[in-house]
Structure 1
């Protein structure tokens, strides 16, 4: 972990780590500094408050498990584009093959869309712009990124832990992943583990403060998160995260 409020050197440090090991943890102070250098976060309170309005994941509910989520798709121009744009795409399903999601693969899952006010918020725009620049610098030949935004709330209830990754240790079937902690209330655990393709654990960390983040090269490593449990079983308990995934529209154009 690296503490820094000077975003440019920090970005170079984390870029080097991502290239070397395929993942990195970014502490809240560093991540917030990066984002504030990229764009405004002045509507963060409203942005974070939207997690209180997420819809139940009906697909997971059929399996006796629980979480809340919303979903949206964006197109991000590559960093070599003269004026890199970010465009929201029409609402569409989230799809993963069984190779990547043995629990719910090979089905089109239609989730409630990210609210328009959230999709056009300054905070989300800043996060997407940062992803465009940071991950784009790792693969500068990519002309366009298919980008999915997932709002997740994992709730822990009395006697029932919440499962941030009910599919277990997995890859998402994309190129890069940002996991950004939005809020964490009355919970224990929720530790992220990173694994080599052979299953060997090569790192672990826990997102505990708003803006703590995980950066993952999904082509190279697997990730998972342990269950969360309520510290006070009589009080509300949740873990809120924003997950942004980037997949090159032309995979053949990506350095490996």
Structure 2
């Protein structure tokens, strides 16, 4: 695994050498996100407590909430997403990535970590908007965007900004390839990923998003 500080300690990129293709089957099970218009995004979520190195305890599943200033598309409402497959947290390759995220942000035992699974589907009729809310923060402490698969897509470039309006050029522009994880301090920068476009009739992009702390109503 290689790591690189792209701008400062608040922005880090990790390139893993492990094969994460075994995780793609879990994305096949994700239902459509009912809170994003267009039926192109699929979303699953679970919250875990960091109880020991390489050990996470699943927490009670509840709704998540963001205000409409943070999320103009799906803010101001209680959102409930399906629990991710229990077998996923035992996958050795996911543990490697999750442990790297925890190490990078200096996570402490007892910290709550959300694991989001997002599949963004794109066709010639419907672009796959990876961030329909635009340039934003997630209202957490740290965010890790971990790409698992890019199937028959182009674009989907992630941008990091120092201002929400995007008046200044992004400090980072990067298409995350499978096996790459970008970790940011959500209190310091804003992020955005542009739409993925199909190279055939249909394509998709699969990512995990790790966050500390939780958005759930614990």
Alpha-carbon contact 1:175-1:248 (below 8 Å) kept: no
Alpha-carbon contact 1:70-1:112 (below 8 Å) kept: yes
What's the offset of the Cα at 1:119?
A: 2.7
- Deviation digits for residues 142-197 of structure 1 (CA, Å, limit 9, x no counterpart): 56322110111101112321000011110000111111110001111101111003
Q: How does 1:225-244 map to 2 (within 5 A)?
A: 225-232=193-200, 234=201, 236-244=202-210
Structure with larger RCO (C-alpha < 8 A, sep 6+): 2
Between stretches 215-224 and 123-132, larger displacement belongs to: 123-132
Q: Indicate the SS of the match to 1:108.
A: coil
Which of 12, 22, 33 is equivalent to 1:24? 12
Report the structure, 1 or 2, having the larger strand content: 2
Alpha-carbon contact 2:47-2:214 (below 8 Å) kept: no
TM-score of the aligned structures, taking structure 2 as reference length? 0.86
What's the offset of the Cα at 1:65?
A: 4.8
Report the counterpart of residue 124 of structure 1 in structure 2: 94
Unpaired segments ≥5 residues, structure 1: 78-82, 250-256
RMSD over equivalenced CA pairs, Å: 2.4
Report the counterpart of residue 80 of structure 1 in structure 2: none
Per the alignment, do residues 52 and 101 of structure 1 end up closer, same or farther by CA in structure 2, a change over 3 Å counting? same
* Structure-2 separation of matches of 1:116 and 1:46: 15
* Structure-2 separation of matches of 1:103 and 1:248: 19
Off by >4 Å, runs of 4+ in structure 1: none
What's the offset of the Cα at 1:17?
A: 5.0
Task: Tell me if 1:103 matches 2:73.
Answer: yes
Q: Indicate the SS of the match to 2:88.
A: helix
Report the counterpart of residue 113 of structure 1 in structure 2: 83
Report the counterpart of residue 171 of structure 2 in structure 1: 202
Q: How does 1:1-256 map to 2 (within 5 A)?
A: 5=1, 10=3, 14=5, 17-19=7-9, 22-26=10-14, 28=15, 31-32=16-17, 44-60=20-36, 63-77=37-51, 83-84=52-53, 85-136=55-106, 144-197=110-163, 199=166, 200=168, 201-208=170-177, 210-232=178-200, 234=201, 236-247=202-213
Q: Indicate the SS of the match to 1:56.
A: coil
TM-score of the aligned structures, taking structure 1 as reference length? 0.74
Report the structure, 1 or 2, having the larger helix content: 1
What's the offset of the Cα at 1:53?
A: 1.4
Unpaired segments ≥5 residues, structure 2: none
What's the offset of the Cα at 1:48?
A: 2.1
Per the alignment, do residues 113 and 248 of structure 1 end up closer, same or farther by CA in structure 2, a change over 3 Å counting? closer
